[in-house]
Amino acid sequence: MRERVPNIRLRAWRDAKHWTRAEMAEAINRAGERLNESITCDVERIRRWEVGETQWPQPPYRRVLEEVTGERIDELGFIRPSRNDRLVVPERLAAEEPITPFGAEAELFDTMELARMAGLSEVGSGAVEAINEAVDLLSRAYPSVPAAQLKERTKRRLHSVMRMLGGRITLAQHRELLVSAGWLSVLLGCLHYDLGEREQAEAARQAAFNMGREAGHSEIMAWTREMASWFAMVENRYEEAALHAQAGQDMLTSPTSATVQLILKEAQALARVGDRYGADEALSRAARTLDQLPRPEHPEHHFVFDHAKWLMYAATCYGWLGDDDRAEEHALELIEVHARPDGTSKAPLRTANAYIDLGIIHARRGDLDGAIARGTAALQFERKSNADLLGRAAELGAVLQQRYRGERVTTEFHERYLAARKAIAGAE
């Protein structure tokens, strides 16, 4: 059995056509009649294709899809069956209490041997490898660990790497440690910004760029442009956000996760200024680029892009463009993709963002109670010290104030939002 992967290529194609699932099903049925194919397509079949429940349609549907889209079936996000499909290993039971990336990093770095190696004037290869692993684990901890706690751990690891760079090391070790320091600086900049520390975030971003340039690491340099685009988006400088996103893409000669993230930052900026055609094109381009990348082993890694994350960007972009039905469809499926059987989320920040999107949609439709319920759900996630999420919560608050000023629940939601902001200041 394969792991379910959302088919964002097919969804992006439909979004660009501005078709509902019903309209796409109707087009497929008409094409089936023209081709004399015995098929019956409906909304549910389109849904199963898009959410990844059906990863390889039957031959008649493949032929009709190619006719309708003008694309080869392999270019529509479907996954050919293989004899070597990896079996999906069930998640461990909660009772086993699997170690988290944050806990694993602490165990790795706090061993006496690594601590000793980090303090030596001559650095061995074992210490460099352990630092690389620590960087990976800290990046995977970003979605779930409180920002203030992760920031302090990241700063300590960065200081250790800088000490090692001052020791007796080979040229190859120098570059490898410089790359690790660059990644840690990018992560640290994100955490500073999450905590409202704008100047420190910019300093970390510039340091990461310089390290990436010295190491000849274009992806680190591109991520620093992504950070600049992110900062500009949160601060409502949309044209500047688009320019940073485009400049970051130009730094990369082959597609990476940074490429996808930068294209989607461009899509967000275009959506914010009401450019529907440009936003659609960027969303489709991101889907095509992402389809060229290998499926990530650890999608929670902050610098790795996975298919489900595309849904989050699409939901928000369509919400900003005023296409509430399309935004709602993407947001609901994002929540479903990340839901655990016990009702918790495997990606709390993404789920919280989707709830904000849904809250805004309900508010615009006149459903105040539904808007408040979804906004409150977003602010109940433990990892809410995030500049994006609080900015989105403020966006929902503005819609509530505009449409439901004076309502008790509107005031209560504003108070919850202020409490979340104060929690960040108290965590610093």
| Residue 17: Cβ within 10 Å count | 14
What is the reported pTM? Answer: 0.83
Handedness of CA 148, 150, 153, 158 (dihedral sign): negative
8 Å CB contact between 263 and 270: no
> Distance between CA 148 and CA 380 in Å, rounded?
18
> By the 8 A CB rule, do 39 and 32 touch?
yes
pLDDT in tens, the chain (428 residues): 456 788 989 999 999 999 999 999 999 999 999 999 888 899 989 988 998 888 889 888 999 999 999 999 988 989 887 655 443 333 333 333 456 777 767 766 665 445 555 554 455 666 788 888 889 999 999 988 888 899 999 999 999 899 888 888 889 999 999 999 999 999 999 999 988 899 999 999 999 999 999 999 999 999 999 999 999 999 999 999 999 999 999 999 999 999 999 999 999 999 999 999 999 999 999 999 999 999 888 888 999 999 999 999 999 999 999 999 999 999 999 999 998 888 888 888 899 999 999 999 999 999 999 999 999 999 887 654 567 788 899 999 999 999 999 999 999 999 999 988 777 655 54
Length of the chain: 428
